[in-house]
Structures are given as C-alpha cells and as structure tokens.
C-alpha cells in the first residue's frame, strides 16, 4: 500500500469497500503472491465472477473480519505453509515431490 493510500484511509477513517490483491496482502500481512493461494484453498473469495485474467477485488469487510479471526488466520497460515512446502519440494525433487 502506498503512502498516498495510507493518507487517504487516514482522512476518511475507513477503508474502501473493495480491496485489490495488494491491499488484501497488506491487510493480512502476507505477500501479494499468497492471495491466489488463499483463493485456491477457498479461504478468500473475489467479488463477482472475475475472468482468470481480470483484476480481482475483495470485500474489505470480509478481509478485515478474517484478519481478526484467529482460527481463520491459522487455517490460512497452514494452507500457505503447505502450498510453499509442496512447491519447493517439486522444484528440488525430479519426481515432483512425491514419494
């Protein structure tokens, strides 16, 4: 999130209704490339029915509710750990990370 965005939020005392991937990542303290992983694990859902190559928006009320929910944060963290562990195993194992 840029300094301009932070200033905008500070002036209006509220976030916008829709958040971009970068804003969601900032709110959840994850990297922007982690947001599609959370969507794939059905832990986040973009608004509407966006095309695969479209800009995705997320409801700020849902994102901030998730950010306060310890159980959801635990599920999201576990999903991210498992995703990156499997991805890294596939990269280092010529058999694709499978036994």
Residue 53 DSSP SS3 = coil
More confident residue, 78 or 9: 78
What digits encode the pLDDT tens for the residues 46-96? Answer: 999 999 999 999 999 999 999 999 999 999 999 999 999 998 888 876 665
Instruction: Label residue 8 by pLDDT band (50, 70, 90).
Output: low
Handedness of CA 97, 80, 5, 63 (dihedral sign): positive
The pLDDT score that the predictor gives to residue 16 is: 83
User: Cα(36)–Cα(53) distance, rounded to whole angstroms?
Assistant: 12
Q: How far apart are the first and last CA of the chain?
A: 41
Residue 74 DSSP SS3 = helix
The pLDDT score that the predictor gives to residue 92 is: 78
pLDDT, mean of residues 31-50: 96
The pLDDT score that the predictor gives to residue 95 is: 67
pTM comes to 0.78
């Amino acid at each position: 999130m840029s300094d301009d965005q932070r200033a905008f939020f500070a002036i209006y005392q509220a976030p916008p209704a829709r958040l971009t991937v970068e804003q969601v990542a900032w709110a959840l303290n994850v990297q922007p490339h982690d947001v599609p992983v959370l969507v794939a694990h059905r832990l986040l859902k973009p608004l509407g029915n966006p095309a695969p190559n479209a800009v995705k928006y997320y409801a700020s009320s849902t994102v901030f509710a998730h950010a306060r929910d310890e159980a959801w944060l635990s599920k999201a963290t576990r999903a991210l750990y498992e995703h990156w562990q499997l991805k890294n195993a596939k990269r280092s194992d010529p058999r694709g990370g499978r036994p």
